């Protein structure tokens, strides 16, 4: 397999590197099953492609290798349906860059640290990045970043512009993880050191998304990003075991969640159950109080878990929210 072919993230390519990489990237760490489609746009492919079905490897490889396509390659009618269903409109890289620059401006207390914007473009700062007196590069790569409703995760990694499909070279990338890897590149010498801090960088970036296909693409984009930078730095293929470690982290940190309820999409139960008793039929309502009262702490759906990488213990995402009741 020629790693430079991997510019176009594709499940068959991933499978050619190692079967278990795709297996890991499809895992839902909360349910211990695979992520679900969570969109009905794949239903024409068959009954196991319904919104509530889990995405299975065999549904997206081989002759089905083109079933999941990035938004830019989806048909116009599919794009419109997804806008109506889930407000799926992606952000151009130059806007992601401007907003990421604002986050860095606040962290560094300085403007134009990584690049200078010029209209809808940017000019990358070629000099080694300086750090403020009271902060260091390790603090930067460990500082937590989250892309809410991440789609294909353009704020985190920028291998291509999600709105035009234009490929962006590693030297000009603007994602929050891209910036951290640049810092690691500039401050490490040995391969072991590089790998150690790149792993720390991956542990510090998070994203959640409703739709399973976009989430898988986001996860693939993060994994290919590692391959891109590794290839560029070491002029050789990364080790499969290292890729698996990165894929495991990604599968925890980029998760499927309804960002309004903090549960797995559509997992709240609101059903009428009919109980047949001696005295006739009795209707029991299995109703979600969280949905009824619009209270994020009372849902009966499956609350999403993420990994606390410091303690190595999973925690519920909702436990991070203040004002607990
Ligand atoms: C406007 S797009 C933005 C995607 C990406 N962050 C970007 O800037 O290109 C919104 C995304 O939110 C997702 N979404 C919609 N409702 C959601 C919800 N309740 N929870 C999580 N994601 C949701 C959609 O599937 C879609 O991918």
Residue-wise pLDDT for 97-106, tens only, equals 999 999 999 9
pLDDT at 233: 97
Confidence of residue 51 (pLDDT cuts 50, 70, 90): very high
Burial 44-82 (b: 16+ CB within 10 A, else e): eeeeebebebebebebbbeebeeebebbeebeeebbebb
Asked if 285 and 272 count as a contact pair (C-beta separation under 8 A), the reply is yes
In a domain, 263, yes or no: no
In a domain, 262, yes or no: no
In a domain, 187, yes or no: yes
Shared domain for 157 and 76, answered yes or no, is: yes
Confidence of residue 323 (pLDDT cuts 50, 70, 90): low
Shared domain for 252 and 275, answered yes or no, is: no
Asked if 140 and 180 count as a contact pair (C-beta separation under 8 A), the reply is yes
Shared domain for 250 and 283, answered yes or no, is: no
Query: What ligand 1 atom has the least distance to the C-alpha of 258?
Result: 20
**Residue found under tokens 């969640």:** 257
Domain that holds residue 137: 1-256
Mean pLDDT of 285-289: 87
Query: How many residues does this entry show for the chain?
Result: 325
Give, for ligand 1, the residue of 74, 87, 145, 149 to mutate: max count of ligand atoms closer than 8 Å to Cβ.
149
With a 6 A CB cut-off, is 87 part of the ligand 1 pocket? yes
Shared domain for 251 and 288, answered yes or no, is: no
The CA distance from 61 to 45, in Å, is 13
pLDDT at 307: 98
Whether the per-residue pLDDT at 1 is higher than 60: the answer is no
Mean pLDDT of 13-25: 87
Torsional sign, CA 38, 42, 47, 48: negative
Q: What is the pLDDT of residues 204-252, one digit of tens each?
A: 999 999 999 999 999 999 999 999 999 999 999 999 999 999 999 999 9
In a domain, 5, yes or no: yes
In a domain, 325, yes or no: no
The CA distance from 147 to 157, in Å, is 11
Q: How far apart are the first and last CA of the chain?
A: 53
In a domain, 218, yes or no: yes
In a domain, 266, yes or no: no
317 DSSP 8-state letter: G
Tokens of 154: 């353009």
In a domain, 41, yes or no: yes
Whether the per-residue pLDDT at 324 is higher than 60: the answer is no
The CA distance from 148 to 204, in Å, is 14
Cα–ligand 1 centroid distance for 209 (angstroms):
6
Shared domain for 197 and 127, answered yes or no, is: yes
Shared domain for 152 and 285, answered yes or no, is: no
Cα–ligand 1 centroid distance for 87 (angstroms):
7
Shared domain for 63 and 180, answered yes or no, is: yes
Q: Vertex 18, ends 239 and 15: CA angle to 5°? A: 135
- Residue 132's nearest CA partner among 113, 108, 114, 104 is 108
Shared domain for 250 and 276, answered yes or no, is: no
Shared domain for 283 and 249, answered yes or no, is: no
Shared domain for 229 and 282, answered yes or no, is: no
Shared domain for 193 and 306, answered yes or no, is: no
Shared domain for 133 and 281, answered yes or no, is: no
The CA distance from 157 to 178, in Å, is 6
Domains identified in the chain, total number: 2
Angle between helices 212-234 and 176-187 (to 10 degrees): 20
Cα–ligand 1 centroid distance for 172 (angstroms):
25
Give, for ligand 1, the residue of 155, 210, 218, 258 to mutate: max count of ligand atoms closer than 8 Å to Cβ.
210
pLDDT at 47: 86
Q: Vertex 140, ends 135 and 141: CA angle to 5°? A: 150
């Amino acid at each position: 397999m020629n790693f430079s072919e991997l510019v176009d993230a594709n499940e068959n390519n991933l499978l050619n590197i190692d079967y278990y990489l795709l297996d890991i990237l499809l895992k839902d760490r909360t349910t211990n099953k695979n992520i679900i489609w969570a969109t009905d746009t794949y239903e024409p492919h068959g009954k196991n492609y319904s919104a509530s079905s889990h995405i299975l490897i065999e549904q997206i490889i081989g002759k089905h290798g083109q079933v999941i396509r990035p938004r830019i390659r989806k048909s116009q009618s599919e794009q419109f349906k997804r806008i109506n269903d889930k407000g799926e409109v992606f952000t151009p890289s130059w806007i992601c860059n401007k907003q990421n620059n604002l986050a860095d401006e606040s962290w560094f207390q300085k403007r134009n640290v990584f690049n200078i914007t010029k209209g809808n473009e940017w000019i990358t700062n070629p000099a080694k990045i300086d750090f403020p007196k009271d902060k260091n590069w390790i603090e930067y790569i460990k500082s937590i970043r989250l892309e809410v409703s991440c789609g294909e995760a353009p704020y985190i990694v920028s291998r291509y512009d999600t709105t035009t499909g234009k490929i962006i070279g590693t030297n000009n990338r603007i994602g929050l993880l891209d910036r951290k890897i640049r810092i690691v590149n500039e401050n490490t010498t040995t391969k072991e050191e590089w790998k150690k801090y790149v792993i720390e960088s991956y542990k510090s970036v998070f994203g959640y998304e409703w739709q399973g296909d976009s989430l898988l693409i986001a996860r693939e984009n993060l994994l290919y990003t590692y391959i891109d930078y590794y290839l560029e730095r070491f002029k050789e293929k990364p080790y499969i075991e290292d890729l698996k470690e990165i894929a495991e982290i990604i599968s925890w940190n980029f998760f499927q969640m309804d960002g309004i309820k903090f549960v797995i999409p559509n997992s709240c139960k609101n059903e009428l159950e009919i109980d047949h008793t001696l005295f006739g039929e009795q209707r029991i309502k299995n109703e979600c109080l969280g949905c009824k009262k619009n209270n994020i702490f009372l849902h009966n759906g499956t609350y999403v878990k993420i990994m606390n990488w410091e303690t190595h213990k999973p925690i519920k995402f909702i436990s991070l929210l203040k004002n607990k009741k």
